[in-house]
Amino acid sequence: MSSDELIRIIVAERDELAAAGYEYRELGESGRAEELERRVQIVETYLPDRCPSLPSVSTTPLGAILTGGRSTRMGRDKADVEIEDETMLSLVSRALSPCVSRTVLLGPDREGWESWPDAVHAQGPLAGIATALARATSDRVILLAVDQPFVRTATLQELIGVESGLPVVPVDETGTRQVTCAIYPTTIASTAAEEAGAGGSIQTLLDTVSFTPVAPDEWRSWGEDGRSWFSVDTEDDLAKGLSRFGN
Residues 102-148 have pLDDT tens digits of: 999 998 889 899 999 887 766 789 999 999 999 998 899 999 999 99
Termini Cα distance of the chain: 68
- pLDDT of 123: 72
Task: Note the pLDDT tens digit of each residue in 83-92.
Answer: 888 999 999 9
- pLDDT of 118: 80
Per-domain boundaries in the chain = 3-46, 62-245
Backbone angles phi, psi at 182, to 5 degrees: -150, 170
Note the CATH number of domain 62-245.
3.90.550.10
Max Cα-Cα span within the chain: 74
**Sequence-ordered alpha helix ranges (H) in 97-233:** 125-135, 153-161, 189-197, 202-209, 216-221
Task: Note the pLDDT tens digit of each residue in 179-190.
Answer: 999 999 999 999
- pLDDT of 159: 97
Q: What percentage of the chain's residues is helix, strand, coil (to nearest 5)?
A: 45, 15, 40
Dihedral angle sign, alpha carbons of residues 18, 20, 23, 29? negative
Strands (E), the chain: 62-66, 82-83, 86-87, 103-106, 140-145, 168-170, 181-185, 212-214
Nearest to 181 by CA among 138, 149, 210: 149
Say if residue 33's pLDDT is above 60: no
- Rama region for 116: left / alpha / beta (φ>0; ψ in -120 to 50; rest): beta
- pLDDT of 213: 98
Whole-prediction pTM? 0.76
More confident residue, 197 or 49: 197
Q: In which band, very low, low, confident or very high, does the pLDDT at 178 lie, cut at 50, 70 and 90?
A: very high
